[in-house]
Amino acid sequence: MDQATSNTPNSNTGNSTGGASSHGTAAAARFPILFWIPLISSPKTAVGTFHANQGLVHLLTWIAGNIILMFIPFLGWVLLPVWFILNVVLSIMGIVDASKGGMKPLPVVGHITLIK
């Protein structure tokens, strides 16, 4: 009985705490403006670097799309709310994926690597 009770806390404290915090920082990075959080909390991990890169790429494409659509009269102004909703949906999909521990890239621009 002593061995069973002594092994249970050790196995729970070692892996689940580190995994939960890494998933939390990865999920935070999928909010585009918070891409830098895993770079500070876990700069050498593949998961942190991947999600930080995805957050930065998402932020830059969001800003570029907003700038381009602002300068297109009428059609661009109509498409701005659609662009916003699309980016919010992509952020939610990334947060869900990161919280599950996945490393699914963004559609279309996910192959771009800015942070190595």
Q: What pLDDT, in 10s, does the model give residues 34-83?
A: 888 888 887 788 888 888 899 999 999 999 999 999 999 899 999 999 99
Q: Record the pTM.
A: 0.74
Residue 46 has which token pair? Answer: 């593949």
Cβ atoms of 85 and 29 closer than 8 Å: no
> How confident is the model at residue 19, as a pLDDT?
52
Residue 36 to residue 29: CA distance in whole angstroms: 7
pLDDT at 33 exceeding the cut of 50: yes
pLDDT at 10 exceeding the cut of 70: no
Q: Within a 10 A sphere around the Cβ of 32, how many other Cβ atoms?
A: 20
> How confident is the model at residue 48, as a pLDDT?
84
- 101 Ramachandran zone, left/alpha/beta (phi>0; psi -120 to 50): left
Residue 82 has which token pair? Answer: 């659609």
